Chain A
Amino acid sequence: MLDGLVITRRFDTPAWLSALVFLAGIAAGLAMATALLVAIGVPASALFDEVIGEAFMTASGLAQTLTFATPLICVGLSAAVALRLRFWNIGIEGQLWLGALGATAVALGDFGPEATRLPLMLLAAALAGAAWIALPLVLKLRLGVNEVITTLLLGSIAFLFAQHLLFGAWRDPATGFPISLAFDASERLAALGFGRTHLGLPIALAAALLVWFLVDVTRLGFYGRAVGENIEAARAAGVPVIAVTCAFVLLSGALSGLAGGLIVAGTEHRMSLTLGAGYTFSGIVIAFLGRFRPLATVVVAVIIGGVFTASDVFKVFYGISEAVVVLLQGLVLFGVLVAQFFGAYRISRANWGTTP
């Protein structure tokens, strides 16, 4: 196929071209998504009003967007940190479930004095998330088992474990619903006084700053780039590859776990079975669109948070499934994947034999 075209890999893509194709890809993805939404009955004018207007320009919408963005920042950072080492963390949701379970366990068990309850909950969340990625990490380092599959499998196992608890020991005895008892006031993150935003937002922003410091300033970050680009060369140059890999991957798991902790302690105030779905793909999309840079990840997470807000509106007014969020992210990513081809390769016509 396509024998008339010659495709050659570019040795180097100029920055302007790479930025151009990236933006073109996003634009193409958004255009596809718009066309689709219009086709199923959302007026084009409403699209702009709901997404830009409602999600970012009104106080209540913006508050909602920032509330959604809080865990999204964490999972975006989680994916970005792992992908910097070419480690595919497809188990973000699993670590998030474990984080939520860890925080809930501390809250329901009333561990420690009330004053340290919240820090302990978030610590438990981060540790549980890190623990849940430890097995894929060890299997990859010791046996070379592909992490795509192992993180994925453990993600499913984590969700089943959450169901096991919520349909069993943690089930709300009053209603019989698969939700835990509500947390006490000392187990809830303080509201910021702006919609439903809570202390989790500054915590997530602090996490982004910490990750930025680690990957862009410290020696660990320098080593991480080397391990991600060429692990054998890094090892031969004396880089402690195992330690660097463990640090990055466990941090990735901890950030996903923290996202789970922030959701239960900040937004839901109890454990439920609906709080964790879809975060794996969102995390990867955010990391990818943020080019794996911690601070850009924050910006993209807020934008995706806006899409979540808009989706609530679509659902109420047009009866559109919340699957529209994942669809939209998928279409944008498809757009970028295709567009990047034009940055990475040079395409020309084969003219062999046509020149004298």
Chain B
Amino acid sequence: MSGFLVGWLAAIPAYAAPLLLAALGLILSERAGVLNLSAEGVMAIGAMTGAAVVLSGIAPTLGILAGVAAGAGLSLVFAIVVVVFRGDQTLAGLTTVAVGIGLAGVLGRDFVQKPFPGIERFGADAAPASNAFERFFLQQDPLVLVALALVVAVWWFLERTRAGLQLRAVGEDPGTADVAGVDVQLVRIAAVVAAGALCGLSGAYLSVAASHVWVEGMIAGRGWIAVALVIFARWDARRALLGALIFGAAEALGPRLQAVGAPVPTYLMMMLPYALTLAVLVLSSLVGRRGTDEPAALGSIYLRQDKS
């Protein structure tokens, strides 16, 4: 039983990290007032780019960085559409998903189903684990630590720095931020691009670190879970960590149970993150917390020349 437990716990971070990375990015974007549904597509382009770069014989670390850059690039397009051209944020987010998945599929046709050496777990070359802690630790990879560091960094940035104050002001009340000399458009574009970088990192993690292969559709809804996770976390980086662990645990449970031969309805188990998010949405609105944490200007279009 304890073997199963350690195995399960050890598997959680690898499931939680991509959700967490994407959710941290989306938090940055949404705290600046840009509703961001684009994660599924941005992660797809990140995953494909990371795999393509590594398959071209370049180091996995650079592959990860390429995924980050690709995610940032696609998000820049999204940012320009919604910030400069004031496109509807819901529609533009869905469109970005389509373009990301489409580009990944069309440009990545030569890289499908080709295994490659990616980022390894700590335990890849080490001797077999001698105790439970080692068993847990050796199952992790460097990017899990990066994700943890990013939780602290994002929280610190938003709550403690002046740039974070400006970003939050843009998401709460862009008119006031503008009067205070904050370049609303620039902050929003920067926040969305940062979100894209983190979603790209999340996607690259899936291909380069988690599975060492790329296939079309490998994001498999994780981007949507990240969108839900942001609501679950009520736009707070610390709660996003908690939520990612819960969702990751739910996701990791099915395969672990299967691995020990327990007869489980796999696909019903996989509904857990979605059902949990639904439950959180319902519960948080029942206790009247709805709207109290959501950035006040989320989804709104800002135009200085609006006659008030």
A254 at the interface (CB under 8 A from B): no
**Which residue of B77, B103, B231 contacts A149 across the interface (Cβ within 8 Å)?**
B231
- The answer to whether B92 touches A337, judged by C-beta atoms less than 8 angstroms apart, is yes
B175 at the interface (CB under 8 A from A): no
- Which residues between 76 and 112 of chain B lie within 8 Å of chain A, taking CB atoms? 77, 81, 84-88, 90-92, 94-99, 101-109
- The answer to whether B305 touches A6, judged by C-beta atoms less than 8 angstroms apart, is yes
The secondary structure that dominates the B interface is helix
B5 at the interface (CB under 8 A from A): no
Q: What residues on A are CB-neighbors of B265 within 8 Å? A: 164, 168
- The answer to whether A156 touches B224, judged by C-beta atoms less than 8 angstroms apart, is yes
- The answer to whether B95 touches A334, judged by C-beta atoms less than 8 angstroms apart, is yes
Q: What residues on B are CB-neighbors of A321 within 8 Å? A: 105-106, 108-109, 216
B39 CB, min distance to chain A CBs, angstroms: 12
Q: What residues on B are CB-neighbors of A326 within 8 Å? A: 98, 101-102, 105
A46 at the interface (CB under 8 A from B): no
Q: What residues on A are CB-neighbors of B91 within 8 Å? A: 284, 288, 333, 337
Q: What residues on B are CB-neighbors of A163 within 8 Å? A: 267
A345 CB, min distance to chain B CBs, angstroms: 7
Q: What residues on B are CB-neighbors of A9 within 8 Å? A: 303, 305-306
Count of A-B contacts judged by CB separation below 8 Å:
149
Complex-state Cα separation, A1 to B182, whole angstroms:
10
B129 CB, min distance to chain A CBs, angstroms: 33
A161 at the interface (CB under 8 A from B): yes
A340 at the interface (CB under 8 A from B): yes
1/0 per position for A131-169, CB-CB distance to B under 8 A? 000000001000111101110111011001101100110
Closest partner residue, chain A, to B291 (CB atom): A144
Interface residue total, chain B, C-beta cutoff 8 A: 55
Q: What residues on A are CB-neighbors of B99 within 8 Å? A: 327, 330-331, 334
**Which residue of A143, A154, A327 contacts B105 across the interface (Cβ within 8 Å)?**
A327
Known: A144-B290, A156-B221, A327-B99. A344 touches B271 (CB 8 A): no
Q: What residues on A are CB-neighbors of B161 within 8 Å? A: none
A324 at the interface (CB under 8 A from B): yes
Closest partner residue, chain A, to B40 (CB atom): A152
**Which residue of A40, A160, A281, A329 contacts B270 across the interface (Cβ within 8 Å)?**
A160
Most chain A CB neighbours (cut-off 10 Å) among B98, B102, B189: B98
A323 at the interface (CB under 8 A from B): yes
- The answer to whether B267 touches A160, judged by C-beta atoms less than 8 angstroms apart, is yes
B183 CB, min distance to chain A CBs, angstroms: 6
B29 at the interface (CB under 8 A from A): no
Complex-state Cα separation, A156 to B224, whole angstroms:
9
Complex-state Cα separation, A40 to B109, whole angstroms:
10
Q: What residues on A are CB-neighbors of B104 within 8 Å? A: 323
- The answer to whether B285 touches A344, judged by C-beta atoms less than 8 angstroms apart, is no
Q: What residues on B are CB-neighbors of A340 within 8 Å? A: 87
- The answer to whether B98 touches A330, judged by C-beta atoms less than 8 angstroms apart, is yes
Q: What residues on B are CB-neighbors of A157 within 8 Å? A: 271, 274-275
B144 at the interface (CB under 8 A from A): no
Closest partner residue, chain A, to B44 (CB atom): A323
- The answer to whether A156 touches B274, judged by C-beta atoms less than 8 angstroms apart, is yes
Closest partner residue, chain A, to B110 (CB atom): A319
Q: What residues on B are CB-neighbors of A145 within 8 Å? A: 281-282, 285, 290
Complex-state Cα separation, A325 to B98, whole angstroms:
9
A354 at the interface (CB under 8 A from B): no
**Which residue of A88, A144, A334 contacts B285 across the interface (Cβ within 8 Å)?**
A144
B233 at the interface (CB under 8 A from A): no
1/0 per position for A1-28, CB-CB distance to B under 8 A? 1100011110000000000000000000
B192 at the interface (CB under 8 A from A): no
B124 at the interface (CB under 8 A from A): no
Complex-state Cα separation, A321 to B215, whole angstroms:
12
B37 at the interface (CB under 8 A from A): yes
A338 at the interface (CB under 8 A from B): yes
B207 at the interface (CB under 8 A from A): no
Complex-state Cα separation, A148 to B278, whole angstroms:
12
Complex-state Cα separation, A320 to B267, whole angstroms:
31
Most chain B CB neighbours (cut-off 10 Å) among A6, A145, A334: A334
- Which residues between 58 and 107 of chain A lie within 8 Å of chain B, taking CB atoms? 88, 90
Q: What residues on B are CB-neighbors of A284 within 8 Å? A: 91, 94
A176 CB, min distance to chain B CBs, angstroms: 16
Q: What residues on A are CB-neighbors of B75 within 8 Å? A: none
Q: What residues on B are CB-neighbors of A156 within 8 Å? A: 221, 224, 271, 274
Q: What residues on B are CB-neighbors of A90 within 8 Å? A: 94
Q: What are the 7 closest A-B residue pairs judged by CB atoms, nearest first?
A: A327-B102, A323-B105, A330-B98, A337-B87, A321-B105, A330-B99, A164-B267
Binding site for A on B (CB under 8 A): 37, 77, 81, 84-88, 90-92, 94-99, 101-109, 183, 185-186, 189, 216, 221, 224, 227-228, 231, 265-268, 270-271, 274-275, 277-278, 281-282, 285-286, 290, 303-306
Cross-chain pairs A/B with CB under 8 angstroms, 30 sampled: A2-B84, A144-B285, A145-B281, A145-B282, A148-B37, A149-B281, A150-B281, A153-B277, A156-B221, A156-B224, A160-B267, A160-B268, A160-B270, A160-B274, A161-B271, A281-B97, A321-B216, A323-B103, A324-B106, A325-B102, A326-B102, A330-B96, A333-B95, A333-B98, A334-B92, A337-B85, A337-B87, A337-B88, A338-B87, A344-B86
Given contact pairs A9-B306, A152-B227, A337-B87, enumerate 19 new A-B contacts (beta carbons under 8 Å).
A1-B185, A1-B189, A36-B106, A145-B282, A145-B285, A150-B278, A156-B221, A156-B271, A156-B274, A160-B270, A161-B271, A281-B94, A319-B109, A326-B102, A327-B106, A328-B102, A330-B96, A331-B99, A341-B85
